[in-house]
A and B are shown apart, each in its own frame.
Chain A
């Protein structure tokens, strides 16, 4: 406790406070812009921290990291353009709300949710970091394989519509994920001599295409279908009492779920909002509203993705292992100041550690104060007429997709996935399983091959540890469950748009 007080004293020093403010401000801005994520921004800011004190430098970079999570929901809600995988679900319910004139409410709830969950995340980080870090690394190849595999099956089952059709779309995503250089053998697969394909399809570019670009095409086809309710009255900009009440539970639960899921290496940023969203749909008395503009959907997904971002910091701070690209950049911020993150951080650099933790409380509060007034501004941006909106969104997406790898190939990928997304949308297919396949596929493949090598190809290896054995039995059960369920259910031809499909709860 006295540590934390000392930390606050450190974080409240002028230079550190200013570093924190700059960090969260820049973070919010780049979070708003699709494609341009915290990774590139932290890298750009990195040289500026060379001349700062270690504490100020790390406070600033951490500020960019969690600040970006606040901004991330904005374009998803207003224009159905998620800037990263974590915001896909926000874009579904948030955009529906926005079309009904509740953009302000959705934005405000996602800001408040981010604040609460961000704070839950920091508390979790502060209290349990060392213990939880051990859980995170206990997830070896075998455990990861079973979790990713089970997640794929589970999601195909709960996404609504036919499980086998969802699974088939997911498999297409997995297949798309195998394109490029195989990191195990150095072989290039499905590139057919075309070298830009060696790196595979970038996930963020694909998501921006599937959701954002396909929406633009759909607006061009039928502008009247995308008409929005014009409402800029001040009291409509903020959530009503009822909306606040309905969001409280999802935000709190989402914060806890997100933090827990955030510890697992790899797909946490995508899985955390999904798990939280489906838990809420399960708990809800009116699950049919999910997917058609339920404020609980926005609240649960946004809060989970924010606390997952704190969860991902646990292995970095407690063990010095960066499990996400953003954590890797943050780690170089530590390294250039000669501070190695890890078990010794709290002992050797106690003031720095607690200063950074305290700054995260301060930064989250700053973000709340900064973002709530912005809600009004952003909600009005929603009313931009189509002749300006359509080129504007495309241009932002284009520059954003380019800046992922500074590559025009990623922009091409984005546009092509936009066409694919439009085609799927016209056929009433949900692109979500495709994205999940692309996220989970490479993890399943890599961990499967690692497991086979480590276990010398024997199934018995999966029973070598308790965690693996439990997960193994669980995934076998899931396979049987989904097969039996799909056979028993009478085949019914699916019709209607994707939005209607997603709301059906088949569990």
Chain B
């Protein structure tokens, strides 16, 4: 039963999308407003999700085994590190972030010692600096703490 309700989520999402579109203004046929296209899209999307999900042609997804949610495994840490890079880059600039990320990710992916990880990190940071900043002249983000 729960599965069935869950399967309706796409339909509800399309409905929300279409509902929001209405607030942008539908306009008329010879001068369509900004909401017209998304609204039409939502209608088609709802119809199609009904066909796909309710008619049982849905993705095999629903049959895949449930994953344990609160396990800290390698991929979760990698994703967390990637996400952490984003605010860190705005704050510290890209080069320090590359250094830290590389060291941590290298260690995570199985490099033996911290020393080796730091050497890899230093090398990669240097390469990025030389390649992009010095040679290609790409203005790398400096970070708000340094500006």
Contact = CB atoms under 8 A, between A and B. Distances in A.
Report if A and B touch in the complex (beta carbons < 8 A): yes
B105 A178 contact: no
Contact of B138 (A399, A426, A455): A399
A234 B79 CA distance: 37
A220 B74 contact: yes
Contacts of B82: 213, 394, 415, 418
Interface residues of A, number: 68
Contacts of A415: 82-83, 85-86
Contact of A175 (B30, B31, B38, B141): B38
Given A165-B59, A395-B98, A491-B56, A408 B90 contact: yes
Contacts of B28: 457
Interface in A164-191: 164-165, 167-168, 171-172, 174-175, 178, 182, 184-185, 187, 189-190
A445 interface: yes
Given A171-B44, A391-B105, A408-B89, A448 B57 contact: no
A368 B136 CA distance: 23
B60 interface: yes
Contact of B29 (A389, A392, A452): A452
Nearest to A489: B57
A113 to B, nearest CB: 27
A491 B57 contact: yes
Contacts of A33: 131
Contacts of A496: 60
Given A36-B136, A168-B48, A217-B75, A189 B57 contact: no
Provide the main secondary structure of the chain A interface: helix
Name, among B25, B109, B139, the residue most crowded by chain A CB atoms within 10 Å (CB to CB): B109
Contacts of A412: 86
A124 interface: no
Provide the main secondary structure of the chain B interface: helix
A361 B45 CA distance: 48
Contact of A387 (B24, B38, B109, B128): B109
Given A398-B94, A449-B32, A403 B73 contact: no
Name, among A167, A388, A415, the residue most crowded by chain B CB atoms within 10 Å (CB to CB): A388
A40 B34 CA distance: 31
Interface string B94-124: 1000100110011111110000010011001
Contacts of A411: 85-86, 89
12 contacts: A165-B58, A174-B41, A175-B42, A182-B34, A185-B33, A219-B109, A221-B74, A388-B111, A399-B138, A403-B132, A457-B31, A493-B57
Given A165-B59, A402-B141, 14 more contacts: A184-B34, A190-B38, A220-B78, A221-B74, A394-B105, A398-B94, A403-B138, A411-B86, A411-B89, A415-B85, A427-B64, A452-B30, A456-B30, A493-B63
Nearest 6 pairs of A and B residues by beta carbon: A457-B30, A457-B29, A387-B111, A391-B105, A427-B61, A391-B102
Interface of B: 10, 17, 20-21, 24-25, 28-38, 41-42, 44-45, 48-49, 51-52, 55-61, 63-64, 73-75, 78-79, 82-83, 85-86, 89-90, 94, 98, 101-102, 105-111, 117, 120-121, 124, 128, 131-132, 136-141
